[in-house]
Amino acid sequence: MSRTYAIAMTRPHQRFGFKEHISKQLPKGALAWALFVMAFWIGLAGIYVSQVTHAAPRGDQLQTLERQIAGLERDVTAMEDSIARQSSMYALTERATGLGFVEVQDPQFINPASHAFVRR
């Protein structure tokens, strides 16, 4: 029998110098740990997918709320501008004139600190 024929007739585990098949040499605990680690990683992947699917609608809700906030801020700015225009001196003068008040042409003031007022 030739040497190549003898090598071809040997089993793979014998060719590498193992006494038994490789799967029989692994302790049963190692297989259990491998299954546990695989289940752990699958569980982590499931948790990740769950978080992503719950976070996506929340992100959409946050964007909607931010758009509403921006709209309300524009409304507040417009109202503040309107209040500033209505309370300006020109607007107040126009309202007073519309109500019948007359502008004083030559006002005269009395200084009460100098006791320059008339007593009756």
Confidence at residue 51, expressed as pLDDT on a 0 to 100 scale: 92
Every domain of the chain and the residues it spans: 28-97
> Rounded to an integer, what distance in angstroms lies between the CA atom of residue 4 and that of residue 15?
12
List the single range of 12-26, 63-77, 99-113 with lowest mean pLDDT.
12-26
Q: What is the pLDDT of residues 62-98, one digit of tens each?
A: 999 999 999 999 999 999 999 988 888 888 888 888 8
Confidence at residue 4, expressed as pLDDT on a 0 to 100 scale: 57
pTM: 0.44
Query: Which of the two residues, 32 and 85, has the higher pLDDT score?
Result: 85
